[in-house]
């Protein structure tokens, strides 16, 4: 039985195959992006979290709140541009930042309240020691 030598592919054939593979990959990627539904629900949840944090955390956690506002604005812009994957990611990040800002603001208020209670107790002990 006689074996034939493998055929060598020319450089233009290899380049054509690579270009075809790249085009196929790009087409698959575009079709995946096109089939992603707009993240309207996630944007609404993120916006609600930002608005809630805006009323509770504006004074105590302004940097996190600013980051959340920025991300929800970028998410809305990404949705408008048709980049639904990015819009969903940014909306989720905005929700997380807003929730963290709210929690941080509550923690700071609790710490201040605790310090006031401790100061009140210290003053009571001081007065009781004088009597």
Looking at the domain assignment, is residue 23 inside a domain?
Answer: no
Rg (Cα) of the chain, in Å, rounded? 29
Q: Report how many domains make up the chain.
A: 1
Range of the domain at 88: 38-130
Average pLDDT, 10 consecutive residues per value, the chain (131 residues): 58 57 64 73 94 88 93 96 95 95 92 94 90 71
Q: Is residue 95 part of a domain?
A: yes
For residue 12, is it within any domain?
no
Domain annotation covers residue 124: yes
Non-local CB neighbours of 9 within 8 Å, separated by 6+ positions: 17
CA distance 69 to 91: 10
55 assigned to some structural domain: yes
99-121 burial: b if 16+ Cβ within 10 Å, else e: bbbbebbeeeeeeeeeeeeeeee
Residue 87 lies in a domain: yes
* pLDDT score recorded for residue 99: 94
pLDDT at 91: 96
pLDDT at position 25: 65
For residue 58, which phi and psi values (nearest 5 degrees)?
-60, -40
What CATH number has the domain bearing residue 46? 1.20.1270.390
């Amino acid at each position: 039985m006689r074996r034939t030598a493998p055929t060598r592919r020319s450089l233009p054939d290899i380049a054509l195959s690579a270009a075809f593979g790249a085009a196929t990959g790009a087409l698959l990627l575009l079709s995946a992006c096109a089939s992603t539904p707009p993240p309207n629900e996630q944007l609404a949840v993120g916006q609600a979290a930002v608005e809630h944090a805006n009323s509770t955390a504006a004074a105590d956690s302004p940097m996190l709140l600013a980051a959340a506002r920025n991300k929800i604005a970028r998410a809305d812009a990404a949705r408008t541009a048709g980049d639904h994957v990015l819009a969903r990611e940014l909306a989720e990040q905005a929700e997380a930042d807003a929730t963290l800002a709210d929690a941080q603001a509550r923690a700071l208020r609790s710490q201040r309240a605790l310090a006031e209670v401790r100061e009140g107790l210290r003053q009571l002990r001081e007065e009781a020691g004088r009597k």
